[in-house]
Amino acid sequence: MEKFLKDSVVLNRRTLLGSGALVGLGALLAACGQQASNEASASSTASAAPSESVSVSAAASESPSASATPSTVRGYSGGSKAPDGEYRPADSKGPAQNVPKPPAPEEGYREKSISGLEKTIRAWILNENYSIQTGDYTETLKFVSPSFKEEIDFSKKISSLYQKGGWVIAGTHNFVANGAPWSEDGETYIWRAYRQWTYAMYVEPDGSWESFENGDDVNNMWDIKLRHTGDSWLVESTTAVEN
């Protein structure tokens, strides 16, 4: 979507898809929030990595904490290798360990329906949070349109960071539905949601780092645009809604 749709225009032109969709999206949040809770520490459960596609530069401030200053050599989060199956979030010592892989998308996620759209968004968010913690975007990109250049470029940046020996501290996020999805053409749908996150720290192999914090808690409303290809839903863009 080239620009954010003003509310007055949306109310006159969009086709709302019913209150049932909103109820379903509420369930989506609960599922995503629970997954994030299982995968992250209390300080990073509702955080998101800033990117060109989901930019937090306007709302975030570079605010690194001295206590979170990474070491110059990547080791193990928590100070030691975690036993198999024990999840440990990333910290100043190293990347997250034993990050649980998201479940397979729910049956019917490819359907051209509100239910299919919900399931696709759920799968995309859960897989993206996994990717932020591991650098592995193999599954996440299956839900992203080839035209979503910003997201693809960001995935390459994060993957490269891990491959070089760096990692991301915190960086996961969640979306809270703000109304029902709508469409103007019957093919492309927009879901407006509030993005929850706390901070993200990008650690380079040499120990240098860059940190962003959602201190002001502003500019966190986003329009997520999806299109059905005839086979499945793909995320085409995420656009900040101006306050």
Structural domain spans, the chain: 7-240
* H/E segment holding residue 9: helix 7-13
User: What is d(CA 19, CA 41) in angstroms, rounded to the nearest whole number?
Assistant: 34
Pick from 211, 192, 165, 208: nearest CA to 7: 192
Residue-wise pLDDT tens for the chain (243 aa)? Answer: 322 222 222 222 232 233 333 333 433 443 444 444 444 333 333 333 333 334 322 233 334 443 345 555 689 999 999 999 999 999 999 999 999 999 999 999 999 999 999 999 999 999 999 999 999 999 999 999 999 999 999 999 999 999 999 999 999 999 988 889 999 787 899 999 999 998 999 999 988 999 888 876 666 899 999 999 999 999 999 998 886
User: What is d(CA 96, CA 117) in angstroms, rounded to the nearest whole number?
Assistant: 30
Note the Cα 238 to chain centre separation in Å: 10
Q: Which residues contact 115 (CB under 8 A, 6 or more apart)?
A: 24, 108
User: What is d(CA 74, CA 204) in angstroms, rounded to the nearest whole number?
Assistant: 9
* H/E segment holding residue 225: strand 221-228
pTM assigned to the model: 0.73
